[in-house]
Amino acid sequence: MKIKNVKHFPSGSWVISVLLLYMVLAMSSCSSGNAVRSKSKYSSANKRTRVNNKPVREDEPVYVKKEAREHKNSGNRVVNSLRTRIVESATSLTGTNYRFGGKSPETGFDCSGFTGYIFSRNGVPLSGPSDALAKKGRNKSKEDLGPGDLVFFGDSDRISHVAIVASHNGDSLTVIHATTSAGVKVDNINGSAYWESRFLFGRDILSD
């Protein structure tokens, strides 16, 4: 039996219909699926969020520590420069006469007058007898003494003398001081039985 009135679409129309359907499905999947994928852990947007909101890295405080070290080193350089100037000023007056109560090169020096003059001349106001100077700054062991530190001498009853450390290298501890016998001079107190027997302690009045 023959079927009548059945229309046959051209083969080209069928292909176009399939293509249109495919395009519609493809467009709908890009718009919705892409929104979900943009939140995935692999998306660049999510990576930017983590970068912007990330906590401070553990290595970042290194910069703070570096600045602190630089500041500390800068302070050390200033103190060391001051110590050098003090020693140079004291050394320049070697040979100045001794005078009890003397506080200037013109009149001569006693030990505390010499020490006070040198420090004050370099911007560190200092005055008074040796026992008063011994209360300044902080204690420092003999092994740690350096240029510009003070050393005190005496006995169990009193402090009788003060000197300025010029250098400390190994067994050599040299000081600059005003002595009753020879005025302002440099001595290695580690090589002197007299000064070693009278050594009491050291003080650092420059580091604080």
Active-site positions?
111, 161, 177
> How many angstroms separate the CA atoms of 208 and 206, rounded?
6
Beta strand ranges found along 35-182 (DSSP E): 103-104, 108-109, 138-140, 150-154, 159-169, 172-179
Asked if 116 contacts 55 with a C-beta cutoff of 8 angstroms, the reply is no
Which pairs with CB-CB distance under 8 Å and at least 24 residues apart come from 84-88? 84/147, 84/148, 85/122, 86/118, 86/119, 86/122, 86/124, 86/147, 86/148, 86/164, 86/206, 87/147, 87/148, 87/164, 87/166, 87/167, 87/176
User: Please, what's the b/e burial string for 152-175 (b: 16 or more CB within 10 A of its CB; e: otherwise)?
Assistant: bbbeeeebebbbbbbebeeeebbb
